[in-house]
Amino acid sequence: MNHSQDTGPRGMPEDRKLYIVDSINDLNKLNLCPAGSQHLFPLQEKIPDVGTNSGNGSHSLFFMGLIMVLIVSLALVSFVIFLIVQTGNKMDDVSRRLTAEGKDIDDLKKINSLIVKRLNQLDAEQN
């Protein structure tokens, strides 16, 4: 049974083994040779393209969109909470005013009844 990729005794594909050995050789060259005397290929060129990095742009775009949606949602929720607090404060003010005006109305009713009694007494004395 021959697989599409040859595997070694530990089950590691030959391409990966070569990549690891090549990377170790590059590290050794960096340590042994003076800086700038050896042109090394970037690691991106040495990694075999097996399709593991495909779609990274769409994933990052998706996450950026998700972050933007979360930020907008957080802003909207904060605004709604602000409006609820403001509405509660206004309702407290209106409630206090109604309570105070209710007391004022009760006081006016008492004064009115005292005036009516006094007028009735004066009217009774004049007759």
* Domain locations in the chain as residue ranges: 58-126
pLDDT for the residue numbered 28: 73
With residue 24 as reference, give the H or E element that holds it.
helix 14-32
Exposure string over 71-102, b if 16+ CB within 10 A, otherwise e: eeeeeeeeeeeeeeeeeeeeeeeeeeeeeeee
DSSP, res 34: P
Specify the pTM.
0.39
Which pLDDT value is given to residue 2?
46
Compute the distance between CA of residue 86 and CA of residue 84 in angstroms, rounded to an integer: 5
Dihedral sign for Cα 105, 111, 117, 123, please: negative
Confidence label for 127 from pLDDT (cuts 50, 70 and 90)? confident
pLDDT at 70: 97
Range with lowest mean pLDDT among 45-49, 103-107, 118-122: 45-49
The answer to whether residue 42 scores a pLDDT higher than 60 is: no
As a whole number of Å, the end-to-end CA separation of the chain is 132
- Output the average pLDDT for the chain: 77
